[in-house]
Amino acid sequence: MTESGNELPAGAGPDAIYAAGLAAGEFKIQKCGGCGEHVFYPRQLCTHCGSADLGWVTASGNGTVHATSVVRQRPEAGDHYNIALVDLEEGPRMMSRVVDIPADQVKIGDPVTAFIGEIDGEQVILFRPAGDGS
């Protein structure tokens, strides 16, 4: 069972636990009990020290754009969008999108805030410019 009370099948892996958290409206990342470092993407072992003592903590949702690129599409395929690498306040770097501003206005160093959104019917972590208030 997860902290949010959602039942998971016995032996559910880190991916399933992470997805269940998103479905419950929670952005959680792992924290190693061995070295204290945060880990993302969900794993069985700490990428810093190799320990299997990984627990789940609520992420602050604060981050900084490390890198960004615009994916340009034909007009009939939809709007252009960005792919960004975001450094979370806790340390891990994750790939996502920054939304609510034009794709080509996302800049390296921009502060961003996470929220749970949806892409192609799947719940994912997205970011918007910090202080947007949306």
- Model's pTM, two decimal places? 0.85
CATH label, 62-129, candidates 3.30.1540, 2.40.50, 3.30.2010, 3.40.50: 2.40.50
Which pLDDT value is given to residue 91?
A: 96
Q: How confident is the model at residue 131 (pLDDT cuts 50, 70, 90)?
A: confident
Q: What is the pLDDT of residues 27-59, one digit of tens each?
A: 999 999 999 999 999 999 999 999 999 999 999
Average pLDDT, integer, range 9-36: 91
Q: What is the DSSP string of 18-78?
A: HHHHHHTT--EEEEETTT--EE-S--SS-TTT--S-EEEEE---EEEEEEEEEE---GGG-
Contact predicate 88/38, CB 8 Å: yes
Task: Tell me the domain boundaries of the chain.
Answer: 14-58, 62-129
Q: Which has the closest alpha carbon to 82: 129, 121, 133, 43?
A: 129
pLDDT cut 70: percent of the chain above it: 90
